[in-house]
Amino acid sequence: MNFKYHALLIAAALSLSACSNDNVATVNGKDISSEEFDAYIKFKRLAVKDESRRKAILTQYLDREMMATMIDKSSVLDADLIKAELNEFRKEMLISRYFEKFLRDKISEESVKNYYTANIKEFEDSKIHVAHILFRTNSKMSDTEKKAKLTVAQEAYSKLKSGQDYAEVAKAYSEDKISGKKGGDLGWLKKGAIDSTFSDKSFGLKKGDVSEPFETVFGYHIVKLIDGPAVVKKSFEAVKGNIRYKLRNAAKAAELKRMKDESSIKING
């Protein structure tokens, strides 16, 4: 920075409190108002402890302003592209900042709690404690092979109907070796979290009931309902993030619709 320019900046800084027209400086014919400079300080979240610090910030600010005005007057950059880029940045900033504040004010912790209370059924899961005996099939099997699997399943089902212990039959017959070792026990399963056919058949049983063999993509099953169904409610803490996300999306969509309804867009030509 040359001496003359530096002196001008210092002079502008020293006149901060004395400017009658409320301008802190003029750079290449462009007035810099105190409101504009204060907004810059607020935007950058700068700590202004004393007048000396404020003057130092102003000097840096005016340096950048000087460079921007000089470059703006030059023909080095494509003015139309710069204008388009600045306009897109302006729109992005306005939209982002607006919805950030709008949604923060619109979707409060209380509104999230109210939604949870009013829609408690939405946060309840139905679970059952089931066991199964599996006879595996796959898409490469012939009809004869699949029929043979079904025959074995019906044999196991007949033993259950005659009074044999379900756990013992599961250990002897089930091709799901993990659950088979536990007498077919699959533990508690949430409705909809398993194969739809398996889920429908299992949730259609009463406690202690054993199903006839039925087919899913995994093979043939014989299911026993050990306990349930039981309704388990998810806590507010567990779902409040999802609720807030849902409410924010709905509020944003509604606000966008309002803006479109109140606006006029005409494409010429």
Domain that holds residue 32: 3-74
In a domain, 261, yes or no: no
- Do residues 70 and 10 both lie within one domain? yes
Q: What confidence score (pLDDT) does residue 237 get?
A: 96
Indicate the pairing of strand 219-233 with strand 214-216: antiparallel
Q: DSSP letters along 82-149, please?
A: HHHHHHHHHHHHHHHHHHHHHHHHHS-HHHHHHHHHHTGGGGEEEEEEEEEEEEE--TTS-HHHHHHH
Q: What confidence score (pLDDT) does residue 269 get?
A: 74
In a domain, 166, yes or no: yes
In a domain, 249, yes or no: no
Give the pLDDT confidence of 101-116 residue by residue, as tens digits.
999 999 999 999 999 9
Q: What confidence score (pLDDT) does residue 172 get?
A: 97
- Do residues 129 and 70 both lie within one domain? no
Q: How many domains does the chain have?
A: 2
In a domain, 239, yes or no: no
Nearest residue to 12 via CA among 46, 54, 72: 54
The residues, ordered by sequence, that sit 6+ positions from 169 with a Cβ below 8 Å of its Cβ are 133, 156, 159, 160
Q: Which residue stretches of the chain have pLDDT < 70?
A: 1-21
Q: Is the dihedral of CA 203, 204, 210, 211 positive or negative?
A: negative
Q: What confidence score (pLDDT) does residue 18 get?
A: 44
Q: CA–CA separation, 247 vs 241, rounded Å?
A: 10
- Do residues 68 and 133 both lie within one domain? no
> pTM for the whole thing?
0.61
**Which residues face 133 on adjacent strands?**
222
Angle formed by the axes of helices 143-161 and 166-173, nearest 10° = 160
- Do residues 132 and 205 both lie within one domain? yes
Q: What confidence score (pLDDT) does residue 194 get?
A: 85
- Do residues 68 and 130 both lie within one domain? no
Q: What confidence score (pLDDT) does residue 193 get?
A: 83
Q: CA–CA separation, 86 vs 118, rounded Å?
A: 45
Q: DSSP letters along 152-211, please?
A: HHHHHHHHHHTT--HHHHHHHH-S-HHHHTTTTEEEEEETTSS-HHHHHHHHTSPTT-BP
In a domain, 178, yes or no: yes
CATH label of the domain that carries residue 140: 3.10.50.40
Token code pair at residue 234: 């998810």
